[in-house]
Amino acid sequence: MTMTDDDLRDLLARDASEGRGAGVTVADVDRRVRRIRRRRGAAGAALAAGLAAVVMAATAPRTVTIAPAGGPDAAAMARPSLTPGVSYLAGQRVFLDKEIETGGRVLRFPYTGISESVNVEVDCREPSYGFVWLNGRLEAQGVCGVQSDQVDHLISWIDESGRDLTGANEVAVALVPVGRVAVDGEPGAPVPALGEQEAERVVGETGEYRTRARVTIREAWLLAVAPTPINCDRDIVIRKPNGQEILSSACDRPSFPAE
């Protein structure tokens, strides 16, 4: 039987007029009020789901089960954390500045750095595809020089791994014609990145040829390290071993606030 606010008022009025006193108990009222609220909540949830299904999918709390009693306290898990905001800035000091006249070959450039990070730039005078290695690891790649889009592309990469690059290091650069990488691609389409072995194979199969480019290695410094409160994409629900669930402000997917 459906119970509304008006029904509840009528029930109370009728009980009072009949003078029975104990016909409607506090428990009856409480039970029927809860029933009304549940129906209202269900109707509101159905409407919200119809209007904002995508938003609910992204923001609905996620349930996680905590360890049995004796493990980490749920309140401690919910405590907000701080995440450092880290960025690097290329400096003015140049460690190495060399002309490149040969493509189809891995050219190695040892340098001694005084900064924890490094900025590597490759400026091509002819349309090319470039690869950049640092200490034997492929770190950057992409089109270089004036391409079919009539834009002069520059490869500029800064190491943001957090490793300390002061002292002796080696940058390696290899250039190949764009067609060697984008063999089956449409003209002007994005060129898919290659893995380490595939890049070495393409360079080796290209063979040496004359080209013109320049590689510049500069210092790069840590710009800022500051504890920054994180944003929450959505809250999580912590489920205790006894089945109790607690809505927590702990973040499911922490993200940096917009600058």
DSSP letter assigned to residue 19? T
Whole-angstrom distance, CA of residue 38 vs CA of residue 91: 62
Give the residue with greater pLDDT, 22 vs 182: 182
pLDDT for 250 beyond 90: no
pLDDT band at 98 (very low <50, low <70, confident <90, very high): very high
CA distance 135 to 145: 25
Q: Are strands 236-239 and 62-65 parallel, antiparallel or unpaired?
A: parallel
pLDDT class of 220 with cuts at 50, 70, 90: very high
Does the pLDDT at position 157 exceed 70? yes
SS3 6: helix
Which pLDDT does position 216 carry in this prediction?
A: 97
Question: By the 8 A CB rule, do 69 and 241 touch?
Answer: yes
CA 222 to chain centre: 21
Q: Which strands make up the sheet holding 117-124, listed edge to edge?
A: 82-103, 209-229, 117-124, 152-158, 137-146, 128-134, 167-176, 107-113
Whole-number percent of the chain with pLDDT over 90: 39
Q: What pLDDT digit, counting tens, does each position of 49-81 carry?
A: 554 444 444 445 555 454 444 444 444 444 333
Q: What is the pTM of this model?
A: 0.54
Higher pLDDT, 67 or 139: 139
Question: Residue 126 carries which DSSP code?
Answer: S
Categorize the per-residue pLDDT at 222 as very low, low, confident or very high, splitting at 50, 70 and 90. Answer: confident
Which whole number is the average pLDDT over 195-204? 94
